[in-house]
Amino acid sequence: MYQVEASKALLKPRLWARQSARLRVPRNVVMLGMVSLLTDVSSEMVATVLPMYLIFSLGASPLVFGAIDGTYRGAAALVQVASGFTSDRWRRHKEVAGLGYGLSALGKVALLAAGNTIGGVGAIVAVDRVGKGIRTAPRDALISLSSAKDKLATSFGVHRAMDSVGAMLGPLIAFGILFLAPARFDAVFVVSTLFAVLGLAVLILNVEGKPRRAPRDGTPPQFRAALALLKDRGFAPLLIAAAGLSIASVSDALIYVGLQRTIDFEPAVFPLLYVMTAITFMALAIPVGQLADRIGKVPVLLAGQALLFVVYGVLLMSSVGYVALIVCLVALGGYFAATEGVLTALAGAVLPEKLQASGIGILITVVSLGRLVSSVAFGALWFAIGLHSAILIFAAALGLAMCLAAPLLLRAQGAALDG
């Protein structure tokens, strides 16, 4: 019944309709992608102009900006596990995700109303990040529950690609507005608020909160059951593999710092590095997801991880020309496309329906802790023995982590097929 009505809705532009028909992506996934796209446009618009706004309009010193930017980080991590479990327990993934999107939208309104003090801006940025922390796990659970188990990687690929389109459009729109109306940051905030409200509206009006795989009967899960995921025969190996791989992977931020020390050309080229990686990611996320559904998520995930060796190789070169740089950035974009979304899809296949959001929340937290360990370790190694030796050690660690992760991931995938 619902599917028939959905096809009549014709909300999405023609092109999308045709493409998603060919891809056979559930409408709910496309709608969730649209929510993320609109919300990312909104957030990235603000993130792009915030430094300029603080310094030129509020007269803040760049150090204050550093402190405010720092609050971006810590705020999100803690709430992920809690929001994941809560949405499983209440069976209200859409509502909990909506709370997260709503908080971020409220933050944009607050920026208009009370963004003229530095403390106010700091608080608003923190609220925005908490909103992001709340919504991620239930949103990913909804994507997973909306998809058939053999189409999970394609669904996550579509969502991540749409998400990154939003992240690319945001800065462009912000710059466009400031170009038309120089220094009118209020206009940027107004348009950003409208995008956030639209994102929330698409979620409320067009996303089905009880998709096909959503559990409809049985008792609500206990917290003990969520904890037991840590010992689950499918999910536990997945978590261990994910932790190992994230510890052995140098973060993208550090890779860019390394490239900037190695590169021989104009500083003006640097912003293009991020753009190039993002475009590669955008282009590859969907085909890589389809490939993972066809030949298996584990080989695609491991091949994606292996692309990091190319990146490390370029960082080890004594001088980096344009060709090497492009190879490096394409490899980096491919690595992103073949890892994060595919890993979440694998988790979606392994996890029981009633604990999807809890498990994904745990996975995101483990991966971000792994990245933190990785960054601290890489920074310490760089200081102690230099950039090149640090990369060699990380390349060895990545090889080891991949050898250990392969059997663990295959065991997880096997458990998913049994279940």
Partner 1 sequence: MASRGGKITVALVVVCVLLGGGYVVYAALGPSQTTTDASPRAGEAADVAVMVRAVDPSSPTLNGGVFVVEDGKVRRRSKDLACERVYYSAGRGICMGVASSGVDYTASVFDDKLAPEHSIRLTGLPSRARVSADGRYGAMTVFVSGDAYLDSSVAFSTRTYLVDMKSGETIEQLERFGVEKDGEPIDAVDFNFWGITFDPADSDRFYATLGTGSHHYLVEGSVRGRSMRVLRDGVECPSLSPDGKQIAFKSRIGDSNRWRLHVLDVATLEDHPVAEKRSIDDQAEWLDDDTLVYSDETNVYTVPADGSGEPALLVRDATSPVALRN
Minimum gap (Å) between residue 269 Cβ and partner 1: 9
Residue 14 or 179 with smaller CB distance to partner 1: 179
Are 241 and 298 in contact, with CB atoms under 8 Å apart?
no
If binding means CB under 8 A, how many residues of this protein chain bind partner 1?
71
Among 32, 127, 177, 328, binds partner 1 (CB under 8 A): 177
Q: Which of residues 268-327 bind partner 1 (CB under 8 A)?
A: 268, 270-271, 274
Query: Across-strand partners of 320?
Result: 263
Among 16, 17, 20, 51, binds partner 1 (CB under 8 A): 51
Minimum gap (Å) between residue 131 Cβ and partner 1: 16
Among 19, 20, 57, 290, binds partner 1 (CB under 8 A): 57
Query: Across-strand partners of 263?
Result: 320
Residue 50 or 158 with smaller CB distance to partner 1: 50
Question: Under the criterion CB under 8 A, does residue 119 sit at the interface with partner 1?
Answer: no
Amino acid identity of residue 45, one-letter, is M
Q: Which of residues 192-231 bind partner 1 (CB under 8 A)?
A: 194-195, 197-198, 201-202, 205-206
Identify which range of 18-26, 190-198, 294-302, 323-331 contacts partner 1 by CB under 8 A. 190-198
b/e map of 174-187 (b: 16 or more CB within 10 Å)?
A: beebbeeeeeebee
Q: Which of residues 260-279 bind partner 1 (CB under 8 A)?
A: 260-261, 266-268, 270-271, 274
Question: Under the criterion CB under 8 A, does residue 120 sit at the interface with partner 1?
Answer: no
Dihedral through CA 258, CA 263, CA 268, CA 271, nearest 10?
-40
Instruction: Compute the distance between CA of residue 386 and CA of residue 388 in angstroms, rounded to an integer.
Output: 6
Among 227, 349, 230, 351, smallest CA distance to 289 is for 349
Among 1, 125, 22, 24, smallest CA distance to 71 is for 125
Question: Under the criterion CB under 8 A, does residue 168 sit at the interface with partner 1?
Answer: no
Residue 368: its H or E element: helix 356-385
Instruction: Compute the distance between CA of residue 207 and CA of residue 28 in angstroms, rounded to an integer.
Output: 6
* Binding mask of the shown chain, residues 325 to 354, with x at each position contacting partner 1 by CB under 8 A: ------------------------------
Question: Under the criterion CB under 8 A, does residue 69 sit at the interface with partner 1?
Answer: yes
Residue 253 or 403 with smaller CB distance to partner 1: 253
Instruction: Compute the distance between CA of residue 330 and CA of residue 96 in angstroms, rounded to an integer.
Output: 36
Overall residue count recorded for the chain in this entry? 419
Among 95, 251, 290, 296, binds partner 1 (CB under 8 A): 251
Are 328 and 348 in contact, with CB atoms under 8 Å apart?
no
- Dmax (CA) for the chain in angstroms is 64
Among 21, 66, 233, 287, binds partner 1 (CB under 8 A): 66
Minimum gap (Å) between residue 400 Cβ and partner 1: 22
Residue 104 or 413 with smaller CB distance to partner 1: 104
Question: Under the criterion CB under 8 A, does residue 63 sit at the interface with partner 1?
Answer: yes
b/e map of 225-242 (b: 16 or more CB within 10 Å)?
A: bbeebeebebbbbbbbbb
Question: Under the criterion CB under 8 A, does residue 52 sit at the interface with partner 1?
Answer: yes
Question: Under the criterion CB under 8 A, does residue 15 sit at the interface with partner 1?
Answer: no
Backbone phi and psi for residue 318, each to the nearest 5 degrees, phi listed first? -75, -30
Question: Under the criterion CB under 8 A, does residue 256 sit at the interface with partner 1?
Answer: yes
Q: Residues with Cβ < 8 Å from 47, sequence gap 6 or more?
A: 170
Question: Under the criterion CB under 8 A, does residue 61 sit at the interface with partner 1?
Answer: yes
* Binding mask of the shown chain, residues 133 to 152, with x at each position contacting partner 1 by CB under 8 A: --------------------
Among 18, 24, 56, 78, binds partner 1 (CB under 8 A): 56
Q: Which of residues 352-371 bind partner 1 (CB under 8 A)?
A: 371
CA dist 332 to 211, 277, 335, 413, 417, Å? 34, 6, 5, 25, 30
